[in-house]
A = this chain, B = another copy of it.
Amino acid sequence: MGLFMNEMKLFMEPESVVVIGTPRLTGPGSFNILENLVNTDFPGRVYPVNPNADEILGMKCYPSVLDIPDDIDLAIISTGRSVVPRIVRECTQRGIKALIIVGQGFADGDEEGKELQSEIVRIAREGGARILGPNTFGIANAFNNFTSAYIELEMKKHPIGIIAQTGFFFVGLPKFTIVGKGIDLGNACDIDFADGLGYFEDDPQIKLILLHMEGTKDGRRFMEVAGRVAKKKPIVALKTGKGDEGARAAQSHSGSLVGRDEVYNAAFRQCGVIRVDDVDEFDDLCKAFLRLPLMKGRGIGVITITGAGGIIALDTCQKYNIHLAKLSPETLSRIGALAPPWQTLENPADIWPAMMIAGHPFDEVFNTTLEALLTDPNIHGLIIIFAAFSPQGPMFPMGDIFQITDKFEKPVVCWLYGTEVDGVASMMEQEGRMVVYPTLDRAVRALSRLNDYYRIIDNEGET
């Protein structure tokens, strides 16, 4: 493990980098890795290599890596595939221990590409070097302004590490975030998921690990390392290439060996990796795990201003094996004090009649219900179903909400509907410890995962 860690540090936090195959062209459409490194304010030493240029972006250009006089931590190799074996050999001759091979056309291509990939692995092994790739963006690390990607990335110091088989996720998850540290394994000819997990294991800058996996060649090592790391921080995996067709495509995309989907399900479950359904769940769980407390049981409460929404919540809970907790007598009496006499009090707690029929002010009804439900020992998490009619409507006693929710170590999530959802959602998330989900399904799913992880780190947990 110590060895992995040091090797991975060369990839993640290099102090000196050579970019082999730096194009002379710069600007949009040039896919110039050197230019991206410069724009990112990478603080280390950078050496461009291009036999046909003396200078690129004002930096002295070397004809070959063999001509560089200084020590080098990492080589980024971005050339046509045919010359890669020679360059790998030159890098090992120069004592470089970490190689990122960017180009395509290896195991992701034809038979010749597969052979080339085997050859470079052999050369690197002999020379004591490790390879990330080929067919990769390589690394993105917002914490030391380093990236080997050939497109410009917006990097932010989020405590999220991702290990993927594509540069796709470096560009940003659909709505939420840019990863703090990213490792694109590409074809994963050498550096694999276990290596990345080993690096993130004790990394104090990373609190959550995402995996995008098409397949892995060394399942045993993956399970050993993942099982250990999952006890320390959540590991959330998107496994793609599910069906036979998908598996074949994954084989052609990254040359991955993919197994039956059920095998992956069982393996993830055994080592405590949370498998997600889709790309959006990455977003959802980044918010959930970084902003909310874990959920200690599978019984939840729902506060709703629409009876119809409460029923939709029930349907969704069933889907994710979450149940609506039976309200305690104390809770019932606290919320019953405000309800019209004819109302059947239950969970979901429909607060509309207490306001509309019994005529109590919205704040009073909402805050009483919120505090009563969060106090209830049967309730381990809460969903609020709210309307967003206007960004600062009188129905939104936000300050009060957070004063109450902060008193409890229970996750509170919100589903908004109406025409002002986006504005109100970001306002709420900025003001307090709450996550607003775009659908009820995603809200319930996130709560469910917060309990899944609670059970992973606490084997005594309620099941």
Binding site for B on A (CB under 8 A): 28-29, 31, 81, 103-105, 108-110, 112-113, 151-152, 154, 164-168, 171-175, 178, 212, 214, 240-243, 245-246, 249-250, 252-254, 278-280, 306-312, 314-315, 318, 324, 340-344, 346, 348, 350, 352-353, 356-357, 387, 389, 394, 417-419, 421, 438-441
Provide the bound-state CA to CA distance between A105 and B353, in Å: 9
Of A112, A246, A278, A341, the most chain B CB neighbours within 10 A belong to: A246
Q: Which of B240, B309, B341 contacts A168 (CB 8 A)?
A: B309
- Closest chain B residue to A310 by CB distance? B249
Is there contact, CB below 8 Å, between B342 and A307? no
Find out whether the CB atom of A245 lies under 8 angstroms from the CB atom of B418: no
Kindly identify which residue among B105, B152, B357 contacts A104, using a CB–CB cutoff of 8 Å.
B357
Q: Which residues of B contact A253 (CB under 8 A)?
A: 307-308, 310-311, 350
Cross-interface CB contact of A171 among B105, B389, B439, cutoff 8 Å: B389
- Closest residue on chain B to residue A307 by CB atoms: B253
Cα distance, A38 to B249, chains bound together (Å): 60
What's the least CB distance linking A107 to chain B, in Å?
Answer: 11
Given known contacts A29-B394, A356-B31, A245 and B324 CB-to-CB distance under 8 angstroms: yes
Please report the C-alpha to C-alpha distance between residue A356 and residue B356 in the assembled complex, in whole angstroms: 62
Residues of the B chain whose Cβ atoms lie less than 8 Å from the Cβ of A28: 394
CB pairs A–B below 8 angstroms (17 shown)? A29-B394, A81-B342, A104-B353, A105-B343, A105-B353, A105-B357, A110-B344, A164-B308, A166-B308, A174-B421, A241-B314, A245-B318, A246-B311, A246-B315, A252-B344, A278-B441, A438-B438
Report the bound CA distance from A83 to B300 in whole Å: 38
Q: Which residues of B contact A389 (CB under 8 A)?
A: 151-152, 171
B279 touches A105 (CB 8 A): no
Cβ–Cβ < 8 Å partners of A175 in chain B: 421, 438
Contact check: which of B245, B312, B353, B419 meets A279 at CB < 8 Å? B312
Residue from the list B242, B344, B441 in contact with A318, Cβ < 8 A: B242
By a CB distance below 8 angstroms, the chain B residues around A357 are 103-105
CB nearest to A317 among chain B residues = B245
- Nearest neighbor of A167 in chain B, beta-carbon distance: B306
The chain B residue with its CB closest to the CB of A102 is: B356
Min distance, Cβ A324 to any Cβ of chain B, angstroms: 7
The residue from B171, B212, B252, B254 contacting A346, defined by CB atoms under 8 A apart: B252
Shortest CB-to-CB span from A97 to chain B, Å, is 28
The residue in chain B whose Cβ has the minimal distance to the Cβ of A212 is: B308
Specify which of B110, B112, B241, B438 is in contact with A315 (CB 8 Å cutoff). Answer: B241
A166: chain B residues at CB < 8 Å are 306-309
Closest to A252 in B: B344
Once bound together, how far apart are the Cα atoms of A154 and B418, in whole Å? 10
Flag if B113 contacts A342 (CB, 8 Å): yes
Known: A308-B166, A308-B214, A315-B240. A417 touches B171 (CB 8 A): yes
What chain B residues lie within 8 Å of A171 (beta carbons)? 387, 389, 417-419
Q: Is the CB of A108 within 8 A of B307?
A: yes
Q: Which residues of B contact A340 (CB under 8 A)?
A: 104-105, 109
In the complex, which residue of chain B has the Cβ closest to the Cβ of A341? B110
Nearest Cβ on chain B to A319's Cβ, whole angstroms: 9
- B81, B110, B439: the one contacting A280 at CB < 8 Å is B439
A320-B314 Cα distance, complex, nearest whole Å: 24
A105 / chain B contacts, CB cutoff of 8 Å: 340, 342-343, 353, 357
CB proximity of A369 to chain B, nearest CB, Å: 17
Knowing A104-B356, A417-B168, the reply to whether A311 touches B109 (Cβ < 8 A) is no
How many Å lie between the Cα of A103 and that of B352 in the bound state?
12
How far in angstroms is the closest Cβ of chain B from A13? 25
